Structure 1
């Protein structure tokens, strides 16, 4: 079955994009459960909008702040799946990022997303980016490559707005090898299978089409 446009009718009348993005990570986790080696586990992480923690209670009173200005509460969306190596103290080894419209909104939002992915790669964590957002024309994978001082020769001068890519940085003693696998996503066409790297020589298939169709089916999207 093909990729749908979740941001426009008729699909947007049946289900919201938030429901697709909210449900998809758990479906990916369920499918990875049958593919991951026994020592690896995965879990979803979904956060939309601002999140305020509890206000601590303390007897000590702080001095007047040196700066006090009103700002917006950080509201970066997170729709992702995290994969851990349980045998190494639950070490994070891979992250699957589902891009939201907010991630592609203002420049600072895009910078935050790209910076997060770059930080993960530099720690040796493989990163997969899946972007089905049709209403914003930015390509965060291309921006990530530019941030790392690289470019993908398979991308056109105007990179596609919808795409999927897997990236990993093989860290050596003095140099590192950056490897990426990128695909253009097209409404009306099936989604690809990406490599999900767990270790330098250990990889499992990330079948986006199968998890996407299961998510759509669960939500009654035809």
Structure 2
């Protein structure tokens, strides 16, 4: 089924993009666990609807308070006077915000001596692209995966924001200028494969990138999902996308 625009009317009025993304992630997990991964591996989906959390750190006003035992004296048989603690005024105060973006992803684990994360598939949401702090949080997460040797596939079908997340990720990684690429349509699938390069006694991290341009009205590609240095399985985006559309009666 050709790629549709799930972020604008009329389709977004009938089926919110968040509902579709969650369903698509489930279909990817079903396909990987059902037909593509051996028993040594398993895929799981995760989703989280973020919210902008704001906290107002108020300044505490210092007040003069009397004793809880005012009027009682030691000579009169009462207890000793106890001072109520009055904290000093807060010196620094700010209204702050924390980035908590939406999350739609599929993680693949390898179970050899405990489950180890080996690959992550990120379905980009509007909240990953709408603000600078959200874009940075997204690419930092992807960069952390790559630094740990975890392969990443980023699927960006967001039509309402034009930010280039691949370019932002290249800004984050030293020596990544040769990896830069821009999709003419603003829609893309980018496959990241981290490897180790050994030169004598020295070892360094290398990243191989395979980008794919997406277009609304055209079918999605099948791309490699790297589970190890020399092991990949097909990530069938067209098949899983079609399954998600059919299950939600999107025609």
State TM-score, norm by structure 2: 0.78
Q: Deviations over 1:131-169 (max 9, x none)?
A: 10001001212221232232466835x754210011011
C-alpha distance in structure 1 between counterparts of 2:52 and 2:39, whole Å: 34
Alignment of 1:20 onto 2:45: no
C-alpha distance in structure 2 between counterparts of 1:203 and 1:77, whole Å: 28
Specify whether residues 212 and 13 from structure 1 end up closer, same or farther in structure 2 by C-alpha distance, changes over 3 A only: same
Contact 1:139 1:160 in 2 (8 A): no
Report the count of equivalent residues: 211
Partner of 2:181: 155
Alignment of 1:90 onto 2:91: no
Bigger drift between 176-185 and 123-132 goes to 176-185
Partner of 1:29: 29
Q: Which runs of 5+ in 2 are unaligned?
A: 54-86
C-alpha distance in structure 2 between counterparts of 1:85 and 1:67, whole Å: 47
Identify the match of residue 238 of structure 2 among 190, 201, 209: 209
Partner of 1:164: 189
Q: Over alpha carbons, which structure has the higher Rg?
A: 2
Q: Deviations over 1:99-148 (max 9, x none)?
A: 00010011111111011100100000000000100010012122212322
Q: Which runs of 5+ in 1 are unaligned?
A: 53-62
Specify whether residues 152 and 27 from structure 1 end up closer, same or farther in structure 2 by C-alpha distance, changes over 3 A only: farther
1:181 CA displacement = 1.0
State TM-score, norm by structure 1: 0.87
SS in 2 for 1:203: strand
Partner of 1:103: 128
Specify whether residues 150 and 13 from structure 1 end up closer, same or farther in structure 2 by C-alpha distance, changes over 3 A only: same
C-alpha distance in structure 1 between counterparts of 2:28 and 2:153, whole Å: 12
SS in 1 for 2:154: strand
RMSD: 2.2
C-alpha distance in structure 2 between counterparts of 1:164 and 1:66, whole Å: 49
Contact 1:25 1:44 in 2 (8 A): yes
Partner of 1:57: none
Contact 1:142 1:159 in 2 (8 A): no
